[in-house]
Amino acid sequence: MGGVLIFLFLCSLLLLFIYPSSSLPLCTDKRAPLIPKTPLGFCPYNGRVCCNSNKDLQLQKQYEAMNISDLACASAVKSILCATCDQFSAELFRIESGPRSVPVLCNSTISPNSSLASKETTNSFCSSVWDVCQNISILNSPFAPSLQGRAGMPQNSTSSKLTELWQSTSDFCDAFGGVTDEDTLCFSGKPIVRNNTETPSPPKGLCLEKIGNGAYLNMVVHPDGSNRAFFSNQAGKIWLATVPEQDSGETLGLDESSPFVDLTDEVYLDTIFGMMGMAFHPNFARNGRFFASFNCDKSKSPGCSGRCACNSDVGCDPSKLGTSNTAQPCQYHAVVAEFTANGSASEPSMAKMAKPSEVRRIFTLGLPFTANHGGQILFGPSDGYLYFMMGDGGSKGDPYNFAQNKKSVLGKIMRLDVDNIPSAAEIVNLGLWGNYSIPQDNPSSEDKELQPEIWALGFRNPWRCSFDSERPSYFLCADIGQDQYEEVDLITKGGNYGWSVYEGPIVFKPEQAPGGNTSTDAIDPIFPVLGYKHSDINRKEGSAAISGGYIYRSMTDPCMHGSYLYGDLYAKAMWAAAESPKDSGNFTTTKIPFGCAHDSPTNCSTVPNSPLAALGYIFSFAEDNMKDVFILTSSGVYRVVRPSRCNYTCSKENLTALASPGPSPSSFGHHLDAPQIELLLFLSALLLFVGFLL
């Protein structure tokens, strides 16, 4: 009996470490699929695809050169060749495990629970290919063993029949086949289509508690995985705080009189200037490295100097920019600097303060105007590189076309390697903006016209980006619009997000363009996955500015799980966007009311006995190590809590409570999703049943 109980208990614990993989629409070069300007003529793909007309013609010529005499075999081979155009080709070709000559062919009956639309297939597609092609000559066959790198097989065979290349169906399908399920894809001879059978239920509302009164611009979790987090304000101070557990009734443990580090002497503070971001190295607990993104004024700070973003490399003459708010071009700079917590404690993870002196200047950029300079920095969870979000420079309509200019770093998301610092000579020779190196797989490795720092382009003023904690390939970034549209983009390698050719999905015409225009025919824009028109929201302040959020991965509010939460600074509104089908990149958004928990540690509302939370301006969103989501506002720090604390109804909340071993779901160390909870409940019931029998 004891052994059975222990086994079942261990099975229950195992559930806590199960994470699904993802099938984000992504091409084999890790770029987002696009809608081609000219429909494909050879490959039967419509909508968003990974091929343009040139690639389509190339595949047609490759197919014709194979000279396949049998129609059934020819049809199968054509479908396999064209799979590279599928919007899920990165998953079909499993690019993470190395290049493949053909996609992973379905090698078993597709699971009845699969979300693939082509699940009526009852036979293995891989064996079907063998059956129709085994004795058919295929010139330059993509099925040659040498292309798979299989040991023990003839590497330079001149034969072009499958039976001469492979010994049997099983041998062939061992090399080219794979099994599909809910979270992995294989090729069944048809384009992949996700079933859209689920209709997301709009959330009833978002329940919030107020745990702090300070107006902070950034919150970043401590990399050691604890319940601590760093908060920073626009003036340049960073505090180390303790985040209270859910349902504890406690407030944020933050002493404003004792900052972790004070950088106000370096930071230039004004309405749209200040400290814009901070990031702590993934190995901060051991190396003590952290980074701050801020603005400086060269007229006040001798150390504020760097190359102007308006220069001859981008065809821009600073003397012709004129003045903006009495500021000369490049009087203000965007800076990323490195600092250290080493030496202030026995080990960096225990440090409660850091040195305010810079270790090195990572990046310095002179700003041509006084707005739209982004400034967020964050480390990629999968690659460990530093991502730096930069706006278009600030003049209305981006008249100098910085965002579309591939030689300018304005209007871009940059990706930098801060672990391999080049020499001073290398920095000069490579034309870098500071102390960093370029990751080898940055888009410039394929597009030589791009500045090597650039990861994606075509942004106006990216404000708050985040990686999905369960699917790091989902990199969502909000971009503040100008006159008409606020957007959220799903960021991929080398993606062009349209500004200033487009504002969101709307064609944009600048009033003046001394720097030249980019035509709509010259780019393949990736349109937003989410957004809203200015005319569709209540803009009491006469403006709109989106603030990007997070895909909610906590089970504190299980009815919000998997939704992307974001808001608007001036409209003081929030939205929850559900993705359907799963891993499709298709989102349905709903504006959600937000209430104040009746037992909030600090009063949420300015109206007595009102159930509505009075947030003020929404500056940023944040996520802690327990995956709970926070909202940083002008009136304080808020956290998403259980719906019932605001009398909102969520049928899944009881399941969460039953699955939780303590008073707070965060006791698990991370939260469970709904399927994991259901399985855990089943095992718990089974445990009780077995105990009863024994």
**H/E element, 589:** strand 587-592
Quick one: what percent of the chain has pLDDT higher than 70? 82
Q: Which long-range contacts (CB under 8 A, 24 or more apart) does 316-322 make?
A: 316/368, 316/400, 316/402, 316/408, 316/515, 318/368, 320/514, 321/368, 321/369, 321/400
Rounded to whole angstroms, how far apart are CA atoms 299 and 268?
10
Mean pLDDT of 510-538: 90
Q: Which of 105, 76, 128, 84 lies closest to 174, judged by CA?
A: 105
Mean pLDDT of the chain: 85
Average pLDDT over residues 171-186: 79
Extract the runs of DSSP E, i.e. beta strands, from 329-448.
332-340, 360-366, 377-379, 386-390, 412-416
Q: Look at residue 196 in the predicted model and tell me its pLDDT.
A: 61
Q: What is the mean pLDDT of residues 660-674?
A: 41
Q: For the segment 567-578, what is each residue's pLDDT rounded down to a tens digit? A: 999 888 999 999
Structure tokens at 322: 């004129």
Q: Which residues pair with 361 in a beta bridge?
A: 337
Q: Count how many Cα atoms sit within 13 Å of the Cα of residue 401 in the half-sphere of its side chain.
A: 17
Question: In whole angstroms, what is the distance from residue 220 CA to residue 231 CA?
Answer: 7
**Residues 323-350: tens digit of each pLDDT:** 554 567 899 999 999 999 998 788 999 9
CA-to-CA distance for 300 and 129, rounded, in angstroms? Answer: 71
Is residue 537's pLDDT more than 50? Answer: yes
- Other Cβ atoms less than 10 A from the Cβ of 537: the count is 17
The pLDDT of residue 401 is above 80? yes
> pLDDT tens for residues 300-314?
998 899 999 999 999
What span, in angstroms and rounded, lies between the C-alpha atoms of 308 and 207? 46
User: Tens digit of pLDDT for each residue in 223-254?
Assistant: 999 999 999 999 999 999 999 999 999 999 99
Q: Is 439's pLDDT higher than 90?
A: yes
pLDDT higher for 50 or 651?
50
pLDDT value at residue 540: 62
Going across the sheet that includes 475-479, the strands are 462-467, 475-479, 485-490, 530-533
C-alpha 657/C-alpha 677 separation (Å) is 10
Which of 247-251, 423-427, 544-548, 613-617 is predicted with the least confidence, judged by mean pLDDT? 613-617
pLDDT at 394: 87
Q: Which one-letter DSSP state was computed for residue 484?
A: S
Give bridge partners of residue 307 from the DSSP assignment.
Answer: none
Average pLDDT value for residue range 642-668: 66
Q: Mind listing the pLDDT tens digit for each residue in 292-302? A: 999 999 999 98
Q: How confident is the model at residue 542 (pLDDT cuts 50, 70, 90)?
A: low
Q: What is the dihedral of CA 218, 553, 28, 499, to 10 degrees?
A: -40
Question: What pLDDT does residue 12 have?
Answer: 40
Q: What is the mean pLDDT of residues 497-520?
A: 92
156: tokens are 């330079």
Average confidence (pLDDT) over 74-95: 93
> What pLDDT does 158 receive?
58
Residue 571 CA to residue 567 CA, distance in Å, equals: 8
Q: Which residue has the higher pLDDT, 658 or 321?
A: 321
What pLDDT is stored for residue 77 in this prediction? 97
Question: Checking DSSP bridges between strand 206-212 and strand 594-596, what pairing results, if any?
Answer: parallel
Q: How confident is the model at residue 603 (pLDDT cuts 50, 70, 90)?
A: confident
Lowest mean pLDDT among 98-102, 232-236, 289-293, 516-520: 98-102
- C-alpha distance from residue 431 to each of 306, 375, 547 (Å): 12, 21, 33
C-alpha 312/C-alpha 310 separation (Å) is 7
The residues, ordered by sequence, that sit 6+ positions from 691 with a Cβ below 8 Å of its Cβ are 1, 5
Contacts of 7 (CB under 8 A, 6+ apart): none
- What's the whole-number mean pLDDT along residues 251-272? 96
Q: What amino acid occupies position 306?
A: G
Residue 485 vs residues 240, 334, 583, 607: alpha-carbon distances, Å: 36, 26, 25, 32
Residue 162 pLDDT grade (very low, low, confident, very high; cuts 50, 70, 90): very high
* Residue 577 exposed, middle or buried by CB count within 10 Å (0-12, 13-18, 19+): buried
How many C-beta atoms lie closer than 10 Å to residue 593's C-beta? 16
Residue 284 has pLDDT above 60, yes or no: yes
- Residue 115, pLDDT > 50, answer no
Q: What pLDDT, on the 0 to 100 scale, is given for residue 172?
A: 93
Sort 132 into a burial class: Cβ within 10 Å, 0-12 / 13-18 / 19+. middle
Domains of the chain: 1-20+675-694 (no CATH), 22-178 (no CATH), 260-460+481-519 (2.120.10.30)
